[in-house]
Amino acid sequence: MRLETKAQISKATLSLLVIVTWLFLSGIVVLVLCVGFQVNPFRETTTGFLIAAFTGLIGVAAILVLLNVATNISLIADSKLSELKIETGQGALRKWLLAFLAFTVVAAGLIAGGTYLSKEKYLNVVQRQANEVLRENGSLLEEISGLLAANKNEDYRRIYDILTFLRDQRHDLPQLSLIYSGKFGDKAALFMVGPYDYQDWDKQGYVGKYYGCKQNVDCDYLKKFFAGEKTNTLTKYTLRDDQFYIYIPYTGKGARFVLLFERVNSYGKIGS
């Protein structure tokens, strides 16, 4: 193989290796940001593609390194080092470092912004659909209010069935639970009817399940609502564990209660 050909191969593989290294480091930055923030703004298909691409880059980099090393060894053997004229651009390393830092900042902004917009869009869609369902089924909400006021154990299965019906009216609605106020002795307590409670009821009848409020999320809100104060719909989400909460209060002729739509969203909305 001619010396010029070997030099061209060495130069080409080095250039490709720089590109692959750049992509690899970019992927590491995105991975570290996602793990650090405990978020994944990409949808399932995109996540799978990125994992495959990341793995493929490792293989490509290994091949390029071997090819570059082989051609460089051959060049050293065929020519004298003193005859090779190597010119190093001034400030090249500094430019690469600044470019990498700029990419890191942009990637962090895109991930944070994409996650925020994804959550806001999801909450708006769910809240709009939930409001539509509740408007269309006001009589069922009033029935729940009356059943809670009667407080008969056999009525809670009916409440569960109504919640299931409301949840299934829209495909995109997440898990639906009901929070209501009760007593533990002479102490006020919060109870909930969740989506899987009926499995225990079939064995031992209705068993009230306590609801533990979430500090800095709904404790103050629920306290005010069940104290008789007027409250509006509350929407909350967390960045770290990707949890969504939508609280819709209802005050009927019987008892007042809160409908809670919540979902653990393991993947984001970026990609396909």
Strands 209-210 and 243-251: unpaired
For 253, residues 6+ apart whose C-beta sits below 8 A from its C-beta are 142, 145, 146
Shortest CA distance to 206 belongs to which of 175, 225, 182?
Answer: 182
Residue with structure tokens 């104060």?
Answer: 229
Name the 3-class secondary structure at 253: coil
Write out pLDDT tens, residues 142-162. Answer: 999 999 998 888 888 889 889
pLDDT for position 43 = 66
pLDDT for position 85 = 53
* Stated pTM of the model: 0.59
Write out pLDDT tens, residues 97-122. Answer: 788 788 888 888 888 788 778 778 87
DSSP state of 231: -
Euclidean distance between CA atoms 128 and 152, whole angstroms: 33
Euclidean distance between CA atoms 172 and 129, whole angstroms: 8
pLDDT under 50: residue ranges of the chain: 81-82, 84, 86-90, 93, 266-267, 269, 272
Name the 3-class secondary structure at 214: coil
| C-alpha separations of 186 from 85, 182, 183, 189, 208 in Å | 90, 10, 6, 9, 16
Amino acid at 171: H
